[in-house]
Amino acid sequence: MNRIDGRSNDGLRPVSITRHFTRNAQGAVLIEVGNTKVICTAMVEDKVPPFLRGEKKGWVTAEYEMLPSSTGSRKGRDRSRGKIDGRTVEIQRLIGRSLRSVIDMEKLGERTIWIDCDVIQADGGTRTASITGAFVALYDAVTWLMEEEVIDEWPINGYVAATSVGINQNEPIMDLCYEEDSTAEVDMNIVMTDKGEIVEIQGTGEERPFTRDEFQKLMALGEDGVYKLINIQKEALGTL
């Protein structure tokens, strides 16, 4: 098929990760995936949620928001409605679960790392870009903890990244922009680690059901995309 931006079906959009994007957070990243842009920050707090007090374990949690001008028409802030919408809750829980999958909470100690993902421009794949960028911010925050001798054991045990895949015009494609996502017959988000472990799969037959064979093709495509993104993370961090 002829994709909107001329990419091959197995091609990612251009990805850029800028570290130390702001100065106050221990980890601060601007991730750009095509025209989707997200600021991901990580800040350390010396306390844990009530359910973890006295457990000698840390916690990683996330908040996510799309800024009003991130879309073509102004998106109202959650606080103006007096509640967080369901989509926002779902995405921030997904980001938190994804990051917790690659960190040893006991080595983190009784402290919380807050991840904030703020979408400044949306063109599809905001949740997957948030996960990919947030990992780099988390890595920088943990590096700060080690350098400051707050912790003495490295708690991160792997890399994690995410991408979208889907079926559009009956063909499997990777990393859907908004136009492709809005017309896709099948839409899927895949979160995986560098060891090939699956953290989460979110797949939906938007226009029609999909077959097991199509699912396998999408999984292979998504795995390839995640590995490419992890290499980009490593390049940004200087760990490749």
Binding residues for phosphate: 87, 125-127
Q: What is the DSSP string of 174-230?
A: ES--HHHHHT-SEEEEEEEETTS-EEEEEEEESSS---HHHHHHHHHHHHHHHHHHH
Q: What is the DSSP string of 88-133?
A: HHHHHHHHHHHHHTTB-HHHH-S-EEEEEEEEEE-SS-HHHHHHHH
Q: Which residues are annotated as a binding site?
A: 87, 125-127
Q: Using the CB atoms, write b or e for 18-48: b if 16+ within 10 Å.
A: ebebeeebbbbbbbbbbebbbbbbbbbeeeb
Q: Report the C-alpha gap between 216 and 13 in whole angstroms.
A: 22
CB-CB contact of 217 with 236 (8 Å):
no
Q: Report the C-alpha gap between 95 and 132 in whole angstroms.
A: 9
